[in-house]
Amino acid sequence: MAAKVLIIEDEEKISRFLELELTHEGYEVKKSADGREGLDLALAGGFDIVLLDIMLPGLNGLEVIRRLRKVSDVPVIMLTARDAVMDKVSGLDMGADDYVTKPFAIEELLARIRVTLRKNERKAEKTSSSLLECGKLRLDSAAYTVTYDGNPIELTKREFAMLELMLQNKNIVLSRDTFLERVWSYDYIGETNVVDVYVRYLRGKIDDVYGINLIKTVRGVGYVIKDESHEE
CB of 68 to Ca ion, least distance (A): 17
- Sheet of strand 222-225: strand arrangement: 174-175, 222-225, 215-218
Q: Which of 55, 115, 117, 194 binds Ca ion (CB under 5 A)?
A: 55
Toward Ca ion, which CB reaches closer, 10 or 73?
A: 10
CB of 28 to Ca ion, least distance (A): 23
Considering CB under 5 A, how many residues would be counted as binding Ca ion? Answer: 3
Toward Ca ion, which CB reaches closer, 10 or 19?
A: 10
CB of 232 to Ca ion, least distance (A): 29
Q: Please, are residues 133 and 139 in contact by the beta-carbon 8 Å criterion?
A: yes
Toward Ca ion, which CB reaches closer, 53 or 181?
A: 53
Residue 115 in the binding site for Ca ion (CB under 5 A) = no
- Contact window for Ca ion (CB under 5 A) among 30-38, 53-61, 129-137, 219-227: 53-61
CA proximity to 53, closest of 62, 61, 45, 63: 61
Residue 10 in the binding site for Ca ion (CB under 5 A) = yes
CB of 10 to Ca ion, least distance (A): 5
Q: Which of 53, 87, 97, 181 binds Ca ion (CB under 5 A)?
A: 53
Toward Ca ion, which CB reaches closer, 48 or 53?
A: 53
Q: Please, are residues 74 and 46 in contact by the beta-carbon 8 Å criterion?
A: no
Residue 33 in the binding site for Ca ion (CB under 5 A) = no
- Contact window for Ca ion (CB under 5 A) among 9-17, 40-48, 103-111, 188-196: 9-17
| Chain CA centroid to CA 157, Å | 22
Nearest 5°: the CA angle 52, 108, 33 is 25
Toward Ca ion, which CB reaches closer, 10 or 140?
A: 10
First to last CA, the chain: 35
Residue 109 CA to residue 132 CA, distance in Å, equals 33
Interface residue list for Ca ion (CB under 5 A): 10, 53, 55
